Chains A and B, each alone.
Chain A
């Protein structure tokens, strides 16, 4: 369908599916899933080095030809998130950062004041900031106003597979900001990804939904198809919902099939 590219901070991506690398049980499975998803933007975390680790995640991702999106997962304060972003910039030679500042251990929901503080500091420091945020349109606008390159509202809590709990807010966020909206967190299966795109999201991020599926490679392919289908459907413009039926076949010219002859009129 020609060039329908996702553009983030001036960088064009053909795929509108972002892939998280967490949860894959092997690097081979991760590589196969990346290929099946056709994703070009893939998240990584930053953790203490394990010198004895088998295989290199960086090597696998380099071979896959994807762009890295380091995250600040596990950070609970703006200070930690900013420092982690700076370390990620050093480690991966990218100024792109998926900014996560978690405010609650059970729900992994973002801490809005800390998130705004960190976003402001990182934007000032030249980062391309993609913040993981709640489905609050006002907060999303604040993040965009600060200069974030995209906003990444959650559909439901990370890893919950609960899909999009407030589709109205997601649609409002799409109206509220100019920057790309990437539905992040909560995707459980392909129809959730399709719904996100139908609501007008510019991209979808999937991690657990693929990595923890019984067949991750097949689910990666399903997510790719769902994102494309949802994008097409959004552009095509769906019909209005209505309570009563509207016949799709004309009623004019309907045959008279009564069993007894009807009198000529």
Chain B
């Protein structure tokens, strides 16, 4: 099962990062967004080609007030 920001996601294994972002309403060209999969950065240029494993843990992050 793919987990996105700590929540179960219905995406099947092999789905790309871009597709998973679309599922949660994040556009491919959204500003100020970064993605990590299983504790590694996935650069924006690789979002459309990166295929997720069936048990991938995806973190979708953006700017928050802080510091």
Contacts and interface: CB of A to CB of B under 8 A. Distances in A.
Contacts of B35: 87, 90
A65 interface: no
Given A47-B61, A51-B26, A58 B66 contact: no
Interface residues of A, number: 33
A49 B26 contact: yes
Nearest to B33: A91
Contact of B41 (A73, A86, A92): A86
A48 B6 contact: yes
A75 B3 CA distance: 21
A138 interface: no
A70 B61 CA distance: 12
A46 B25 contact: no
Interface stretch (A22-30, A113-121, A164-172, A249-257): A22-30
A55 to B, nearest CB: 11
A90 B43 contact: yes
A57 B34 contact: no
Contacts of B59: 48
Interface string A57-72: 1100100000011110
28 contacts: A20-B66, A21-B67, A22-B66, A23-B65, A43-B66, A43-B67, A44-B66, A45-B67, A46-B62, A46-B64, A47-B62, A48-B6, A49-B24, A49-B33, A49-B60, A51-B24, A57-B65, A58-B31, A61-B63, A71-B67, A83-B36, A87-B35, A87-B61, A88-B34, A90-B41, A91-B32, A91-B33, A91-B34
Interface of A: 20-24, 30, 43-49, 51, 56-58, 61, 68-71, 73, 83, 86-88, 90-92, 98, 100, 207
Interface of B: 5-6, 24-26, 31-36, 39-41, 43-44, 59-67
